[in-house]
């Protein structure tokens, strides 16, 4: 049971570079989310999707874009990375009426 798979697990970027984080789930979940975790801040929602082809902004969306072209995949893009985007990124998925989320194992991103 793969659950939620995030790639890559670690990445170092230079300021101004771009990259895409991939999240894939095999549970046929409708909802998918991207969070960032920073020390002392808990997990904050960046963007989320309530279904294929739909996306919405969360609490901290600036500097990020997302796409959900297929139900099982949710991509998070950084067009021009900044040091403030150094963080651990978590993807999660859930179904309607489900109790909780299934989380990926996280991506540690460092922007230098």
Partner 1 sequence: AQTVTQSQPEMSVQEAETVTLSCTYDTSESDYYLFWYKQPPSRQMILVIRQEAYKQQNATENRFSVNFQKAAKSFSLKISDSQLGDAAMYFCAYRSKQGGSEKLVFGKGTKLTVNP
- Which residues lie near partner 1 (CB under 8 A)? 31, 33, 35, 40-45, 48, 50, 58, 88, 90, 92, 94, 96, 99-101, 103, 105-106
Could you tell me the two tokens for 111?
Answer: 């922007």
Min. distance of Cβ 16 from partner 1 in angstroms? 27
CA–CA dist 34, 47 (Å, integer) = 6
CA–CA dist 46, 5 (Å, integer) = 18
Min. distance of Cβ 39 from partner 1 in angstroms? 9
CA–CA dist 32, 82 (Å, integer) = 24
Min. distance of Cβ 61 from partner 1 in angstroms? 13
**Residue placing its CB nearer to partner 1 in the complex, 28 or 40:** 40
**Residue placing its CB nearer to partner 1 in the complex, 15 or 41:** 41
**Residue placing its CB nearer to partner 1 in the complex, 17 or 43:** 43
In angstroms, what CA-CA distances link 35 with 1, 38, 47? 22, 10, 7
């Amino acid at each position: 049971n793969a659950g939620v798979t995030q790639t890559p697990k670690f990445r170092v970027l230079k300021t101004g570079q771009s990259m895409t984080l991939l999240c894939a789930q095999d549970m046929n979940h409708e909802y998918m989310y991207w969070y960032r975790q920073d020390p002392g801040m808990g997990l904050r929602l960046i963007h989320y999707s309530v279904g294929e082809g739909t996306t919405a902004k969360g609490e901290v969306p600036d500097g990020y874009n997302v796409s959900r072209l297929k139900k099982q995949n949710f991509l998070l893009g950084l067009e021009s990375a900044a040091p403030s985007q150094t963080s651990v990124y978590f993807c999660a998925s859930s179904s309607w009426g489900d109790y909780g989320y299934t989380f990926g194992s996280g991506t540690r991103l460092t922007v230098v």
